[in-house]
Amino acid sequence: MAAGINFAGEYHLKELLVYTSSGAVLNLTKAVQNIDIFEDMFSTSLSGNITILDIDNIAENGPIIGQEYMTLKITTPSLDKQEIDFTNSSFAIYKVDVRESISQETQLLSLSFISPELLRDKRVRVSKSYTDSIDKIVESVLTDTKYINTNKDIYIEPTSGIRKIISPNLHPYAFINNLLQESVTAKDSAPYFFFFENLKGIHFKSLNRILSEDSIGNFNVGNLASLENKSVNSEKDFNRVIDFQINSNNDMLLNIGGGMLGSSTIKYNIYNKSYEKLRYNYFIDFEKFDRMSENPIYNNNKIDEFDNDIGSFGDARIHLHPVNASGDFDTQHTNPTSSYSYSSNKLNEAILFRRAKIMELNNAISVTMKINGNTTIAAGQTMNLTVPVSGRIHEKENDEYYSGRYLITKLRHTFSQTDKKHEILLTASKDSLSKELPLGNKSTEPKGSAGQIFNLTY
């Protein structure tokens, strides 16, 4: 990667044009001070902001009012085929955040932008019936000229079964997010689907598919890079970490309430007045679908005198799923008598695993780190991270629990024209450990003798 690059984080801003509502086209390539672009696996759209040093009063002469479109092209030297190219598509400037006078002749403009697909989403609604697999329905909504009408690259993973679905006058992205809850992969029936946009395009795919792809690189926290170091031309500079911190480490209270450790679904037959209870146990179901590493992030010690572990409490979170008389279909549909068979939403099979996975990615092991940027890194990719051991007394150099594979869930690209440097601030999560936790005999709550009961009278 280093060939043709003078320093880690180098980039070239090739184009930044703003198309105003009055018809003027403003070339702001040389006026830009800073560009931030945000990616998030839990968000349906890219967003960002730009800071402009305005010496030509473009805010008034444009004018710039929050109704503009912006094309952008940025490349990392030697990576021209993987550049950030929004010249055929665009961003929508929707807000003027700051208009501040610096001197009599100069003002600072801060503009917020998003993907124009999000504006289209808020303007229209889908009121239509579909009979197809969920992946084909999603593709239709994204490309339909009446709805999202995107021309961006779309990455959609095949889903299982033909569905008969009605959208009850929903915004397109709300409709897709509803389908997200019911989607399972055609390959292995994995329920962990995500719908998000990054700089590569729009994605509707499972965590299993993401984990099957190669990691973007190996990053070493123990070799921190200097903020001022811009002289070394080596691939190691891209794998050094500028700044690092551990955000969270297993919020037990939140994970219990959210159903990550144990939950259940009551499959209720409203015709026969019968029910079936399906349970999720963190340890029993740990290996059912692909993970980043092999070992749980909690210990399955027995925690009480009844030999329960922390995954034994399925009533911590309960979901209700009504089904029809046959017990095979949800109550939205009846089982057709024709030879053309539709699939049920399988929500009773997927919801417990999906909710647990979302809790794992948001409230288990999470790190934030800053690295030298390049245009190949995006949210929804995995990375390998080596974390050093802290403290003075230890036998090993690296933390065997926190080191390993991570999923990049959130990311901010910062392009500074002042420093001429591209940096990335990212959040990455881990749903498992590289090394098994030590197991004790019991970890019951320490208790002394029983407390006394005092009956108070008034």
pLDDT in tens, the chain (458 residues): 555 778 888 999 999 999 999 999 999 999 999 999 999 999 999 999 999 999 988 888 889 999 999 999 999 888 877 899 999 999 999 999 988 888 888 899 999 999 999 999 999 999 999 999 999 999 999 999 999 999 999 999 999 989 889 999 999 999 999 999 889 999 988 999 999 999 999 999 999 999 999 999 899 887 655 445 554 545 677 788 899 998 867 888 999 999 999 999 888 887 888 888 889 999 999 999 999 999 999 998 888 888 899 999 999 999 888 877 665 555 455 444 544 466 666 666 688 899 999 999 988 899 999 999 989 999 999 999 998 887 666 667 788 888 999 999 999 999 999 888 999 999 999 999 989 988 876 666 777 677 788 888 87
Q: What is the pLDDT of residue 356?
A: 92
Q: Which residues contact 320 (CB under 8 A, 6 or more apart)?
A: 265, 266, 268
Q: Of all helices (H) and strands (E), which one includes residue 111? A: strand 107-114
Q: Crossing angle, helix 172-182 and helix 116-123, to 10 degrees?
A: 100
Q: What whole-number distance in Å separates Cα of residue 165 and Cα of residue 131?
A: 6
The dihedral of CA 41, 42, 44, 46: what is its sign?
A: negative
Q: CB within 8 A of 367, min separation 6: which ones?
A: 244, 245, 246, 247, 385, 387, 402, 406, 427, 428, 429, 430
The reported pLDDT for the residue numbered 247 is: 85
Given the structure tokens 């952008």, which residue do they identify?
Answer: 72
Instruction: Categorise residue 457: left if φ over 0, alpha if ψ from -120 to 50, beta otherwise.
Output: beta
What is residue 458's predicted lDDT score, i.e. its pLDDT?
76
Cβ(432)–Cβ(294) under 8 Å? yes
The torsion angles phi and psi of 23, rounded to 5 degrees, stand at 100, -5
Terminal CA-to-CA distance of the chain, rounded, Å?
80
Q: Contact 28/18 with Cβ under 8 angstroms? A: yes
Q: What is the largest CA-CA distance in the chain?
A: 85
Parallel, antiparallel, or unpaired for β 107-114 and 84-101?
antiparallel
Q: Where are the beta strands (DSSP E) in 261-374?
A: 262-269, 274-281, 318-323, 365-372
State the Cα–Cα distance between residues 109 and 58, nearest whole angstrom. Answer: 10
Q: Are 160 and 343 in contact (CB under 8 A)?
A: yes
Q: How far is CA 111 from CA 17, 300, 325, 413, 423, in A?
A: 13, 50, 56, 16, 20
Amino acid identity, position 66? G
Distance CA 345, CA 343 (A): 7
CA distances from 182 to 142, 205, 247, 303, 318 (A): 18, 13, 30, 34, 17
Q: CA separation (Å) from 354 to 45, 193, 196, 198?
A: 21, 8, 16, 22
- Omega cis (within 30) before 336: no
141, 147, 148, 154: CA torsion to nearest 10 = 20
Q: What is the pLDDT at residue 441?
A: 65
* List of domains in the chain: 1-114+218-245+375-426 (2.30.110), 121-208 (3.55.50), 253-360 (no CATH)
Task: State how beta strands 126-132 and 163-170 pair.
Answer: antiparallel
